[in-house]
Amino acid sequence: MTVHLKSTQEIEKMRIAGKLASEVLDFIMPFVRPGVTTGELDAQCHDYMLNVQNTIPAPLNYAPPGYSPYPKSICTSVNHQVCHGVPGEKKLKVGDIVNIDVTVIKDSYHGDTSRMYYVGEIPIQARRLCEITYESMWRGIEEIKPEKYLGDIGYAIQSFAESLGCSVVKEFCGHGIGTKFHEDPQVLHYGHTGTGLQLRTGMIFTVEPMINSGKASIRQMADGWTIVTKDHSLSAQWEHTVLVTETGYEVLTLSAGAPPKPVFRF
């Protein structure tokens, strides 16, 4: 595993890309409402990225080994969809929860982040899942500082989510990021303290737990991209891109509309 430690100049470019990615999520917020299709949300984001930000949507035509090119500019994962939901003709309805995942490229550097959105009034159990997932992500981020370990991040996420009766998807993880969409290291959202790669100043990676209200088992849909829960239970995800600093961490994917860090419940 080769982890690239970012220079001061690279970190500044990552700050810019991260803020721009978060601003796409700010922009799309008022459009997430009953009756809109996920394809319409994709078109709005695509236009904003290209024509307002002058950024490139990294997911569009992205094709890792074994995958066909991804056909859209964002991912929209609704209700029991875990991740990589492909925008289309599906109309959102009151009570839905939807994750919108955005990655932009600015001056060759990637900014990657996602949020959960509520479509009108949502069920209490759906809100609870989204809040648990958000706190799980932040509990993982709080573990980040030099000399800590990747396992500390995973343990913080897994122990919290499972203590509240939820399950952690293990097939997908966070990742290093920079001029490449996905770099080393892989950041698991489960694990044990004091294990895995030791963190060093200059590392940049995502923390993006996927938490299910039911069992952790998942399956892939026929489109080759969309992942859903096997038991059809709800799933939620939040994502930030984070820099390891000399004294702790800096979240790079913050903007005016980004939700604040939660108050931990215990």
Every domain of the chain and the residues it spans: 8-251
DSSP per position, 141-201: HTT-STT-BHHHHHHHHHHHHHHTT-EE--S--EEE-SSSSSEEEEE-SS--TT-SPBP-T
Q: What percent of the chain is modeled with pLDDT above 90?
A: 98
Kindly report, residue by residue over 110-121, the tens digit of the pLDDT. 999 999 999 999
Going by the DSSP 8-state scheme, the letter that residue 31 receives in this structure is: G
CA-to-CA distance for 110 and 177, rounded, in angstroms? 7
**What pLDDT is attached to residue 111?**
98
Strand partners for 210: 237
Q: How many other C-beta atoms lie within 10 A of the C-beta of residue 23?
A: 25
Q: Is the pLDDT of residue 1 over 90?
A: no
What's the CATH architecture for 8-251? Answer: Alpha-Beta Complex (3.90)
Q: Which two tokens stand for residue 43?
A: 């078109």
Kindly report, residue by residue over 140-175, the tens digit of the pLDDT. 999 999 999 999 999 999 999 999 999 999 999 999
pTM for the whole structure? 0.97
CA-to-CA distance for 251 and 7, rounded, in angstroms? 16
Q: Which two tokens stand for residue 61?
A: 């035509």
Kindly report, residue by residue over 23-39, the tens digit of the pLDDT. 999 999 999 999 999 99
